[in-house]
Amino acid sequence: MIYGARVRQARELRGLTQTATGKGAGLSQGRIAQIELTPIVEISDENLERLAQTLKVPVAFLQRPPLEDLAEGSMQFRARKSLPAPVLRQARREAEIAREVARHMLTKLEGPSVRIPDLRGMHDMGEAAQLTRSALGLPPHGPIPRVLHALERAGAIVIALETWVDGKLDAFSTWDGPELDLPLVPIGQGSSWDRIRFTASHELAHLVLHRAPCSDLEKIEQEADQFAGEFLFPREDAESEFTKTVTLSRLAPLKLKWGMSIASLIFRAADVGAIDQRQKTSLHVQLGARGWRKQEPGADAREPEQPRALRKMMELLYGDPIDVRRLAEDFPLYASELTRMIKRYADAPSWRQRQRPVQPEGQAPGVLVPFRTRAN
């Protein structure tokens, strides 16, 4: 006996069509479609074996009761016409598996309580960013040393995705769980360090502001970008940094200090009125002429931030180093896949090493995301 929803989940996770799945398993496309729509399916051992093999999952995976589908969340906001639907589904399924692992572990561990504010309906992005900083326990001013860490400390589960498409699928975010009170931020690996920070801040905006459906998708995206700028580089800070004529060479050190791309800093300078429209255009043209639109200077100045919380939870429950066989008893996936998953998250030593401060004088190093075993 297997669950139809698990077959569909595994198939979409692997980016397979029903036809290809049927072919591999010796079943018709119609039979696969039928299986996927049936809650509980009786299937012969031989067929089950072949189906699991085609889907590259252990038989036990298909026999495990499924959770509800992961909500699309902010995935629906982006204009991703150029991105094929199967890729989006694959990313969503991948995030779905990680959230199942997280939710299971959260029944045994107590994590930080969720402190991501609900600011639906607010349209002043400066105010929204300030209120969010405050809710997350961040100071109103100054650079944010590590954005992913700030999210994790505020109770969000940051998921490191294997599925990633350069510039098209960086991240998405959604509220999960029966009460829709668990914020998830699945994020692709491979972006530049400054882009990961901006993307994570953009998704934070969606969690804070865009829970209710809205038809004006362009406005939603603009708001999220605006919020990210205000969150990373608050207006008062920006006003005091942009006192001299804004040039590309003056922006380069600000990139390292504030952890934002030079391109984003140009937008920020325009936002706070330090440059006018003409200067903004001119700076963007110069950026292109120097080849910085493809790669800005300072690309290797910092390590890209990696999430930590999910791996930390695994270490607490399955040992450090993580006993993958024990983990696989709770989450029936092949060890190789679980190992790849684990490696996308920071381990404790690399996490500490990556606390390279944004400012030369440094900030107080953050503490690890707090988790402790639930008292039963």
Binding site for Zn ion (CB under 5 A): 74, 77, 224
Find, among 30, 44, 33, 38, the residue nearest to 4 by Cα.
Answer: 38
Q: Which two tokens stand for residue 63?
A: 């026999």
- Strand partners of residue 159: 186
SS3 content of the chain, % helix, strand, coil (to 5): 50, 5, 40
Q: Name residue, tokens 């700028």.
A: 229
Q: How far apart are CA 6 and CA 11, in angstroms?
A: 8
Cβ 174 to Zn ion shortest distance, Å: 12
Q: How far apart are CA 242 and CA 233, in angstroms?
A: 12
Residue type, 188: G
Those residues with Cβ within 8 angstroms of residue 239's Cβ, 6 or more apart along the chain or in another chain: 272, 274
- Strand partners of residue 212: none
- The DSSP code for 189 is S
Find, among 62, 65, 68, the residue nearest to 21 by Cα.
Answer: 62
Interstrand relation of 182-188 and 157-161 (parallel, antiparallel or unpaired): parallel
Q: Which two tokens stand for residue 169?
A: 């699928």
Q: How far apart are CA 196 and CA 202, in angstroms?
A: 10
Let me know: does 194 contact 170? Beta carbons within 8 Å: no
Give the number of other CB atoms < 10 A from CB of residue 362. Answer: 11
Cβ 120 to Zn ion shortest distance, Å: 16
Q: Which two tokens stand for residue 186?
A: 């699945």
Let me know: does 224 contact 264? Beta carbons within 8 Å: no
Those residues with Cβ within 8 angstroms of residue 282's Cβ, 6 or more apart along the chain or in another chain: none
> Does residue 321 have a cis bond before it (omega within 30 degrees)?
yes
